[in-house]
């Protein structure tokens, strides 16, 4: 069987750590990883894909796959790479435990560096941004859902709450809970007319809608729905088009070949009619941001919004990096409410990039693939800590 001739050296290699599946080869996102392998080869960098189950620690090797145009996906044994690009996602506690063990052992090995250290979760990220101080007016009110009493008190004060899983993605498990009826804020569950509605998506990303005659029935159902998962309560924002469709603005920011943050691209994700979320996996569509915002707010205001979104998209990674550690790329979800106010909804350190395909932004699609390779090559010669990179970014402006 053909084997890649450069597999015997890990000094100029980047391994993509991803989740093992039953597929052949045993991982998802194969087109993305294929492009990374090919661009890496053209750039003089060995790129291969491996999973937490592929380690041979006694020999300091991993079993993985690389891609070659002539042979397709080729399996092989590779030395531990100098850099690891963490693209692991997990759907079970066992997968998460295997991932954490592999990551810990990699970080203990002096010759291996991570391209970027993944953010922990929505609440931790929100707290990092709060501590910075520059983003308070862009952050929705957020609270950890410690018990259903927390939600009951929230609904008495505000009538509406968005429930988000701390570790969720793609809109799965996100709910809007609304107190309805003739009761005023501050009333109790015994008041006549108190009723509740819930809409959103379940853990399998299926739409759901429920109604409850009283608070007790609502909380019983939510306890079963939430189960043992960690959830956040968040202020409900009216992030809709004039026709009532949910939308957000996704920005992809990445380190370039000089270790500086760049805005790779920006696009609007518009949800299906009646959907709470705008995620593409939930049936949403992607549209170019410039034209969409101009239609919603007029050309002049749209231009102002884009300038502010760009500024925030470049400030956020520096703020997070200075408190968290090295990052390589971020997907930032912004909301723009009906009054034209910008909100920071979510920051993801393992972002997707399918928006560029949807909006036919071929340059953005290419840059989204090329930048991790360019930054990897930069790190192989620099390997400087995040605070040094941040200072370089500031000095370059």
Identify the pLDDT of residue 357.
Answer: 87
Tell me how many degrees the CA angle 53-56-59 measures, rounded to the nearest 5.
170
DSSP H helical ranges for the chain = 30-42, 93-108, 122-132, 148-158, 215-226, 289-297, 299-324, 355-358, 362-381, 386-395
Residue 250 to residue 343: CA distance in whole angstroms: 12
Q: What is the pLDDT of residues 88-99, one digit of tens each?
A: 998 788 998 999
In this predicted structure, the answer to whether residue 59 has a pLDDT above a threshold of 80 is: yes
Exposure letters 176-194 (e unless 16+ CB within 10 A, then b)? bbbbeeebeeeeebeeeeb
pTM of the model: 0.89
pLDDT for res 113: 94
Q: How confident is the model at residue 387 (pLDDT cuts 50, 70, 90)?
A: very low
pLDDT higher than threshold 50 for residue 143 = yes
Say whether pLDDT at 369 is over 60: yes
Cβ contact 78:7 at 8 Å = yes
Residues in the chain: 397
Distances (CA, A) of 347 to 120, 182, 284: 11, 37, 19
Helices (H), 22-133: 30-42, 93-108, 122-132
CB atoms within 10 A of CB 137: 9
pLDDT of residue 167: 78
**pLDDT confidence tier of residue 180, bands split at 50, 70 and 90:** confident
Percent of the chain with pLDDT over 70: 87
Per-residue confidence (pLDDT) for residue 320, from 0 to 100: 97
- Cα torsion 313, 318, 319, 323: sign: positive
Q: What does the pLDDT average to over 295-306? A: 97
Round to whole Å and give the CA distance between 268 and 335: 10
Q: Is 194 helix (H, G, I), strand (E, B) or coil?
A: coil
User: How far apart, in Å, are the Cα atoms of 96 and each of 90, 91, 304?
Assistant: 6, 8, 42
Q: Residue 342 is inside which H or E element, if any?
A: strand 342-348
Residue 281: pLDDT band by 50, 70, 90 thresholds? low
Peptide bond into 25 cis (omega under 30): yes
* Cα–Cα distance, 382 to 294 (Å, whole number): 42
More confident residue, 2 or 366: 366
Q: Which of 56-70, 202-216, 316-330 has the lowest mean pLDDT?
A: 202-216
Q: What is the mean pLDDT of residues 56-81?
A: 95
Q: State both tokens at 62.
A: 């991993």
Task: Choose between 273 and 256: higher pLDDT.
Answer: 256
pLDDT at residue 396, rounded to an integer:
44
**Res. 285 pLDDT band, cuts 50 70 90:** confident
Most confident residue range from 183-187, 292-296, 357-361: 292-296
Beta-sheet pairing, 13-17 with 46-56: parallel
DSSP SS3 for 67: strand
d(CA 259, CA 100): 27
In this predicted structure, what is the pLDDT of residue 326?
95
Q: Does domain 13-114 have CATH number 3.40.50.20?
A: yes
The whole-chain average pLDDT of the chain stands at 88
Mean pLDDT, rounded, for 300-323: 97
Phi, psi (degrees; rounded to nearest 5) at 173: 75, 10
Q: How far is residue 40 from each of residues 47, 190, 364, measured CA to CA in Å? A: 6, 64, 18
Residues 304-326: what's their mean pLDDT? Answer: 97
Task: With cut-offs at 50, 70 and 90, classify the pLDDT of residue 248.
Answer: very high
Distance CA 243, CA 228 (A): 37
Contact, 116 vs 303, CB < 8 A?
Answer: no
CATH number for the segment(s) 122-139+239-395: 3.30.470.20
pLDDT at 194: 74
Question: How far apart are the C-alpha atoms of 8 and 10, rounded to whole Å?
Answer: 7
- In this predicted structure, what is the pLDDT of residue 191? 47
Beta-carbon count within 10 A of 27 CB: 22
Work out whether strand 113-114 and strand 83-86 pair parallel, antiparallel, or are unpaired.
parallel
Q: How far apart are CA 234 and CA 162, in angstroms?
A: 5
Q: How confident is the model at residue 213 (pLDDT cuts 50, 70, 90)?
A: very high
Among all chains, which residue has been given the structure tokens 């968290």? 324
CA angle 289, 292, 295 (to 5 degrees): 145
């Amino acid at each position: 069987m053909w084997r890649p001739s450069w597999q015997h050296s890990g000094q100029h290699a980047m391994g993509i750590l991803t989740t093992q599946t039953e597929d052949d080869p045993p991982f998802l996102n194969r087109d993305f990883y294929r492009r990374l392998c090919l661009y890496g080869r053209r750039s003089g960098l060995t790129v291969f894909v491996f999973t937490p189950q592929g380690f041979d620690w006694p020999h300091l090797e991993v079993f993985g796959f690389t891609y070659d145009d002539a042979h397709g996906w080729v399996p092989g044994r590779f030395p531990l790479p100098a850099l690891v690009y963490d693209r692991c996602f997990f759907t079970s506690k066992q997968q998460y435990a295997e991932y954490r063990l592999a990551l810990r052992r990699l970080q203990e090995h002096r010759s291996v560096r991570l391209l970027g250290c993944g953010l922990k979760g929505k609440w931790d990220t929100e707290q990092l941004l709060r501590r910075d101080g520059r983003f308070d007016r862009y952050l929705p009110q957020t609270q950890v859902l410690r018990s259903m009493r927390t939600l009951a008190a929230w609904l008495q004060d505000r009538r509406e709450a968005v429930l988000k899983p701390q570790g969720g993605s793609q809109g799965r498990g996100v709910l809007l809970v609304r107190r309805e009826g003739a009761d005023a804020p501050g009333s109790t569950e015994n008041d006549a007319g108190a009723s509740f509605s819930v809409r959103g998506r379940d853990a399998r990303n299926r739409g759901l809608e429920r109604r409850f005659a009283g608070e007790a029935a609502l909380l019983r159902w939510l306890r079963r729905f939430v189960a043992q998962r960690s959830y956040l309560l968040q202020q409900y924002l009216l992030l809709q088009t004039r026709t009532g469709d949910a939308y957000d603005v996704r920005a992809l920011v990445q380190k370039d070949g000089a270790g500086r943050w760049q805005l790779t691209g920006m696009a609007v994700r518009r949800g299906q009619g009646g959907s709470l979320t705008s995620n593409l996996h939930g049936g949403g569509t992607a549209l170019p941001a410039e034209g969409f915002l101009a239609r919603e707010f007029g050309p002049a205001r749209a231009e102002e919004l884009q300038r502010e979104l760009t500024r925030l998209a470049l400030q956020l990674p520096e703020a997070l990096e200075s408190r968290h550690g090295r990052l390589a790329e971020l997907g930032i979800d912004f909301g723009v409410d009906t009054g034209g106010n910008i909100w920071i909804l979510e920051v993801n350190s393992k972002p997707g990039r399918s928006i560029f395909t949807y909006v036919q932004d071929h340059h953005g699609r290419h840059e989204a693939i090329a930048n991790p390779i360019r930054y990897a090559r930069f790190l192989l010669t620099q390997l400087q800590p995040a605070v040094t990179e941040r200072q370089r970014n500031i000095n370059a402006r």
